[in-house]
Structure 1
Amino acid sequence: MKGLRKLGFYSAFILPALLMAGFYIGGIGLAFIHVFVFLLIPLMDYAIGRDIENLEKHEIPSATKEYFYRLVTFLWVYVQLAVLIWGFYVVTFYNLSVGEWLWFTSGMALVTGGIGITVAHELGHKSEKLEQTYSKILLMTVCYMHFFIEHNRGHHVRVATPEDPATSRKGESFYSFWWRSVKDGYFSAWELEKQRLSKLGLSLWSAKNQMILFVLAPLLFVSVFTVIFSVIAGRFVWEIPVFFAGQSVLGFTLLELVNYIEHYGMERKILPNGRYEKVSPLHSWNASQMVSNFFLFQLQRHSDHHAFAFKRYQVLDHHEDSPQLPQGYSAMIILAMFPPLWFRIMDPKLEQWKRKSKV
C-alpha cells in the first residue's frame, strides 16, 4: 500500500497527457480530459473507496523529509509551464472552432487550475524560498497570485467564521459564493499586505508590496509570449491573451468550487472571551477517497491540513470524527454546480453532523 501511495501521486501527470493526446486525436478526443476527471475518477472513487490509513507516528519524520514527494511537485511546475506554452502554440497556429476553443480552454484549466493550484497551495504553505517561488509561478499562470497572501494569512486565520470570504455559508449557492470569495478575497489580500507594510513603516506603494508584483507578473508573462508568437506568426496573435484569460478564469473557478465544498456551513464557536475557538479538524469537510486524493496530493484530507497547516501532503491524516463528504471532489464539484441538488444532499448531512458533534 505504501509503495502504491508513493507512485499514485504521479497520477496528476495523466491530465496533461490526456489534454495533448486528445487535441491531436481531435473531435471527441478534446473531451478525454473532461470525461476522465468528471466521470472516470468519480467512478474509480466509488469502486475503490476510501483510504483511511494513517502513517504511524514513527514513520512521519522520515516520510516528511523524503525528497521524492517534493520532486513530484517540482516536476509539475515545469510540466505545467510547458503545457501552457504549448497551448499558446495551438491557439496561434490552429484554426479552432468555437466548440474546440471551449473544450480546449476548459481542458487546459483542469491542468492549470485543477492540479496546478493544488500544487501551488501545497508549496505555498512551506517556508523554503524555492517552494514559495514555485507556488507563485503556478498561481501566476491562472492570474490568482493574491491567493498566496489571502490563503495563508487570511483564510487559515478566519476559516469557518463570517469574516472569511472563502468559507461558504449554509444556504449559499456556489454562484453567490464565487462572486463574494473572488472579490472579497482579492481586496483582503491588499489589506493584509497593507498591514504588513505598515508594520515595516513602508507605504502601500512601496516596491516591497507583493500585490503590485502579483498584478504585473501575469500581464508581463502573457505579453512576452504574445510578442514572441506574434513575431513568429507574422501577425498580432490576439488568441493568446484571450486563451490565457479564459483558462485563468476557469482555473480559479475550479479553486473556488473546491473552497465552496471544503467548508460549506462550517462555523467556529465564539468563546466567553469573545474570540473564536481554535481551528480543529472539525471545521473542514473531509474526503479520503483514494483515487482523487492521488490526483490532488491529499488535499481532500482537508480537516488535518487546517488543523496542522505545516504538514506536508504525504503525512496528512484521515480524521473519521470530521464531517465527511459523500464523495471525492470531482463528484462534489458537479453537485455544487446545481444548487438545488447540493442543498438537498448536503444540508441534511450538515445538520446531522452538527447534532452529532454536540453529543
Structure 2
Amino acid sequence: MKALKYLLVFTVPLTTYISFTSTGWITYSTLIYVFGIVPLADFFLKVNTSNFDKEQEEVEKHNKLYSYILYLTVPTQVAFLIWFLFVIENTTNTVDLIGRILAMGIICGVIGINVGHELGHRSNRLEQLLGEILLLSSLETHFLPYHNAGHHFNVATPEDAATARKNEALYLFWIRSQFMSYIEAWKIENKRLKTSERSWFHHQNRMIVYTLAHIILISSIFYFFGITVTLYFLAAAIVGVLLLETVNYIEHYGLMRKKNKFGRYERVRHTHSWNSNHVIGKLVLFNLSRHSDHHYNGSKHYQVLKSLPESPQMPTGYPGMMLLSLIPPIWFRLMNKKLQEI
C-alpha cells in the first residue's frame, strides 16, 4: 500500500486530459497544477523526513509494485504524445495552442525525462529500454550516457556540465548544460567503444542509435502530420528539456567538491546536492528531491532513497524552487545566503 501514493504522478496526465479536451484558460490546467497548486500545497503541508528502517527498506526494495507504477507511465506517455499530435493539428486558437503545448511539455519533463532517468539507472536491459522510449518522446536520449557516466562521475565539479556554478543565471545554464552534455555524451560513447577496440561508427554506439531514433520520430511526425505539427511537437519537447535543465540547476547550485592533496576530488557525499522533503513534489517526482542519496548510490531505487540531516535543504519543494530560479536576483539572494550557512 505504501507504493500507491506514487500514483499521484498520474494527476499530471489527468490535468493534461482536461487541457486537451477544453478551451480557453482551462487548457493551462497542467501548468496551474504543477506550478501553482503543487508548490502552494508544499508550502503549507508539513515536510516528511521519515525513512524506512532496515527491515522495511529490505521489504520495499523488492516490492515490484513500485516498478509497475514506473512501467505504467510508458504507455501513458506514448498515448498522450500520439493524442497531442492529433489534438494540436486541429487547434487554431493561439491561447489553446500555447496551453496544450505547455501541457505536453510538462508531461515530457515530469514523466518522459524524470521516469526515463529512474529507469535508465536500472541494470535490467528491458527497463533501460523503457527509459529510452520515455526520453525519446522528449528528444533527450543523450541524457542517459552523459548522466550515468558523466554527471554522476563529475557532479559538483567544474568539469560537470549539469552542475550550476554560484552566481550563474539559469538562462545561461540552460544553454551550457544542454549543449555541453550533448557533446560529452558523444565523447563518452566514443571512449567506451575505443576501450573495447571498436570504431566510433559502430551499431553499439548509443549516440548513433539515438540520433537515428530521433530522425525517425521527427520524420514520421512530419510525414503523417506535416511541418506545423512537427514544430509544435518540437516546442513541447523543448519545454520538457527546459524543465529538466531547471531541475539540474536547482539540484546542485553552488555546491562544489574539494580537492585533496593529490589533486583529486573528494568522494561524492550527501552534502553535494540540494534536497527537499516537501511531500507533494517529492511524490510526483518519485523522490527525485532526495537527490543526495541518489548521487551517493545511483543504483538505489527511488522508493528507498533517504532523507539525511547533513544534506542541504531547499526552503520549499522542487516546483517552487524552479519558479524562484526564473528570477535570478531573488534566487541569488536566497541561495547564496544558504550556501554561506553550509
Shorter-chain TM-score range: over 0.9
1:155 equivalenced with 2:151 (yes/no): yes
| Residue among 272, 277, 282 paired with 1:293 | 282
Question: What is the match of residue 237 of structure 2?
Answer: 248
1:188 equivalenced with 2:188 (yes/no): no
1:98 equivalenced with 2:94 (yes/no): yes
Question: What is the match of residue 33 of structure 1?
Answer: 30
Matches within 5 A, 1:1-359: 3=1, 5-92=2-89, 94-227=90-223, 229-230=224-225, 237-353=226-342
Query: Is the partner of 1:310 in helix, strand or coil?
Result: coil
String of CA shifts for 1:243-284, please: whole Å, max 9, x gaps. 221111110110000000000001101011211000011100
Question: Matches of 2:204 and 2:35 in 1, distance apart?
Answer: 41
Question: Matches of 1:257 and 1:322 in 2, distance apart?
Answer: 20
When residues 291 and 95 of structure 1 are mapped into structure 2, their CA distance, relative to the original with a 3 A threshold, is: closer
| Shift of residue 225, structure 1, vs aligned partner | 3.8
Question: Matches of 1:67 and 1:114 in 2, distance apart?
Answer: 21
Question: Matches of 1:114 and 1:290 in 2, distance apart?
Answer: 16
Question: Matches of 1:192 and 1:25 in 2, distance apart?
Answer: 45
| Shift of residue 22, structure 1, vs aligned partner | 2.6
Question: Matches of 2:75 and 2:265 in 1, distance apart?
Answer: 41
| Shift of residue 210, structure 1, vs aligned partner | 0.8
| Shift of residue 193, structure 1, vs aligned partner | 0.4
| Shift of residue 145, structure 1, vs aligned partner | 0.5
Question: Matches of 1:74 and 1:112 in 2, distance apart?
Answer: 15
Question: Matches of 1:207 and 1:318 in 2, distance apart?
Answer: 41
Query: Is the partner of 2:203 in helix, strand or coil?
Result: coil
Contact 1:91 1:239 in 2 (8 A): no
| Shift of residue 154, structure 1, vs aligned partner | 0.1
| Shift of residue 112, structure 1, vs aligned partner | 1.1
Query: Is the partner of 1:323 in helix, strand or coil?
Result: coil
String of CA shifts for 1:142-184, please: whole Å, max 9, x gaps. 1110101000000000000000000000000001111110111
| Shift of residue 303, structure 1, vs aligned partner | 0.8
So what's the TM-score if we normalise by structure 1? 0.93
| Shift of residue 239, structure 1, vs aligned partner | 2.6
Runs of 4+ in 1 over 6 A off after TM superposition: none
Contact 2:273 2:291 in 1 (8 A): yes
State which drifts further: 57-66 or 156-165: 57-66
String of CA shifts for 1:298-343, please: whole Å, max 9, x gaps. 0000011111111100000001211100001100111111101100
Question: What is the match of residue 233 of structure 1?
Answer: none
State which drifts further: 133-142 or 96-105: 96-105
State which drifts further: 132-141 or 17-26: 17-26
Contact 2:19 2:100 in 1 (8 A): no
Question: Matches of 1:23 and 1:87 in 2, distance apart?
Answer: 8
Contact 1:287 1:300 in 2 (8 A): yes
Contact 1:11 1:294 in 2 (8 A): yes
Question: Matches of 1:282 and 1:189 in 2, distance apart?
Answer: 26
Question: Matches of 2:86 and 2:63 in 1, distance apart?
Answer: 37
Contact 1:284 1:303 in 2 (8 A): yes
- Paired residues in the alignment total 342
Question: Matches of 1:323 and 1:211 in 2, distance apart?
Answer: 35
Query: Is the partner of 1:282 in helix, strand or coil?
Result: coil
| Matched residue type, 1:220 | I
What is the CA RMSD across the aligned residues, in angstroms? 1.1
User: What runs of 5+ residues in structure 1 fail to find an aligned partner?
Assistant: 231-236, 354-359
Contact 1:285 1:322 in 2 (8 A): yes
| Shift of residue 212, structure 1, vs aligned partner | 0.8
